[in-house]
Structure 1
C-alpha cells in the first residue's frame, strides 16, 4: 500500500475493541420486538459501540456519524430484560455494517444482528474538476476536501506525492475522492530492459542484474533471466527493480 494512503492501524483497532467491550456490557432494560423503537439506554450503547469500532481504522481527527437501523420485522423475539450489544467478528464498522444483539437474562435466549450505517469524515484529495480515464495527475487536478472515507473501498490520499505521475483507470467527477483503486498500476520497466534483482533471505541480501522477460507492473510477479541463463521470478517493486524472497 502506498505510503501516503490512510489505512487501518492494528494497534488502534485493538484499543478500540477494548473500549467496545466496555460499551457492550449487558443493558438492564426491558424490551420486546413489538415496541416502535429501541430503548434510549440501548441506543446509547449501540452508538458508543459503533463509534469505537469505526474510530479504530480512522484518522485521529475524523468525524464519525452513526445511523442505527431496524431489526428485520419478520423476526419474532421474546421479551428480554438483559440485552448485550456486541461487534460481530469480521464486520468492519465502516459504511453498511451490523451490530449484534443477544439476550442474556436467562429466560429468553436469542441472538440477532441490527443494521447500522457508519460515515467517517476526514480531509482527503479529491478531483478539482471532471477528469477522464487515462489522465496523468498533476497538482492542479486535485484539492483537499472533507469526504466520507467509508463510502467506498480503496485507500485515500492526503498528500500529492503519492499521486505524482499516476494515471487514472476510470473517470472521476469533480469532488470525487481519488482512491488507490482508481489508479492504473505503475509500469516500472518494459520487457527486455536490464533490471536490478535483490534476493533477500534470513540475515542476508544479494544484488545482481538481469534481463526482464516481461513488463514489470507495480506489485506483480515478473520473470528475470541472468547472463548464465538462469531464470528467477520476483516482484516488481520500483524503477527497474525486482525483489525475490528466498
Structure 2
C-alpha cells in the first residue's frame, strides 16, 4: 500500500536513472501485479493531490492568477514494480510543471528501490491577447489586431505576451490566424528606418531635454540601440523610439 506523499520541497530536485525492479519468479510477479492493480486508485488520487498542491502557486512573472488544471496519466502497463511502503514524488531536473510534462516517482521504503516517470498534463487558464483576424507574415501589429480572451497559457512553451505595449508595433514572424494567443515567439521588433535616414536625436537628462538632427548609421528597430552621426560629426548611440526619433541618455 502507498503511504501519503510528502509535501513538495526543493530537495527533490535530483534525478535518478530509471530503474524498474522485476520480481525473480512467476509467482512473485503475479503477487506484485495484483498489489499494483489494487493500489492503483489510491496511487492516482495521492499523485493528483501532490500535484494540485505543487502547482497551486505556479504563475508566470507579471501574470494575474491562473486557473490550474492537472491531469495525471498512467504508468506503462508493462512495468512490474516491487512492493513499496513509501513512494515519493519529485520534479526531475530540467523539467517544469507546465504543459505536457512528467513527474518522477521513486520507492523509498521497499525490498527493491525503483524509480519511474509518470506523464502529466498541466493547463493554466487565464486572460491573454488573442488574434481576432488573420495577420500576414511580416505585417506590423496594431491595437485592433487582438482582443482579450481566456486561453491555456501552458499549451505552448513560448511565453504569453502580457501587455499591449509588448506587441503593438511589432512584426509578425509568421502568418497568425484567428484565435491564436499572442506569444513571444510569434513577433519581433519592427524596423522603422534604414541606415542613412535623417532622424531626430533627443538628449535627455535630469531637468533638461535637447533636440538635434543626425543621420542614422545603422538600421532602426524600435526599442533597440542605433548609431547616429550628429551634425558636428560626432557618433552617438541611442535607443530607437519611433520611425524618426532616437533617444540618448545623458
Measured in 2, the distance between the counterparts of 1:110 and 1:71 equals: 13
Q: Does 1:179 align with 2:183?
A: yes
1:118 to 103, 112, 122: 122
Q: CA deviation at 1:130?
A: 2.3
Q: Secondary structure at the match of 1:92?
A: coil
User: After alignment, is 187-196 or 234-243 more displaced?
Assistant: 234-243
The 1:195–1:151 alpha-carbon spacing in structure 2 relative to 1, beyond 3 Å, is: farther
User: After alignment, is 150-159 or 91-100 more displaced?
Assistant: 150-159
The 1:113–1:162 alpha-carbon spacing in structure 2 relative to 1, beyond 3 Å, is: same
User: Considering only aligned residues, what root-mean-square deviation do their CA atoms show, in Å?
Assistant: 4.0
Measured in 1, the distance between the counterparts of 2:241 and 2:46 equals: 48
Gaps of 5+ in 1: 1-17, 25-30, 199-208
Measured in 1, the distance between the counterparts of 2:82 and 2:33 equals: 7
CA displacement, residues 184-235 of structure 1 (integer Å, 9 cap, x when unaligned): 3332653245797x9xxxxxxxxxx997654254687877889999999x89
2:144 to 122, 131, 140: 140
2:8 to 17, 20, 27: 20
The 1:241–1:81 alpha-carbon spacing in structure 2 relative to 1, beyond 3 Å, is: farther
Equivalent position of 1:3 in the other structure = none
Equivalent position of 1:56 in the other structure = 58
Q: Secondary structure at the match of 1:42?
A: helix
Measured in 2, the distance between the counterparts of 1:115 and 1:235 equals: 49
Would the aligned equivalents of 2:126 and 2:152 in 1 still touch at CA under 8 Å? Answer: yes
Q: Does 1:47 align with 2:48?
A: yes
Measured in 2, the distance between the counterparts of 1:182 and 1:219 equals: 17
Measured in 1, the distance between the counterparts of 2:165 and 2:225 equals: 25
Q: Which runs of 4+ in 1 moved over 4 A?
A: 31-34, 193-196, 209-213, 216-232, 234-243
Measured in 1, the distance between the counterparts of 2:186 and 2:140 equals: 12
Q: Secondary structure at the match of 1:140?
A: coil
Q: Does 1:168 align with 2:169?
A: no
* Matched residues, number: 210
Bigger CA radius of gyration:
2
Measured in 1, the distance between the counterparts of 2:112 and 2:222 equals: 55
Q: CA deviation at 1:49?
A: 3.6
TM-score (norm 1): 0.65
Correspondence list, 1:144-155, <5 A: 144-155=148-159
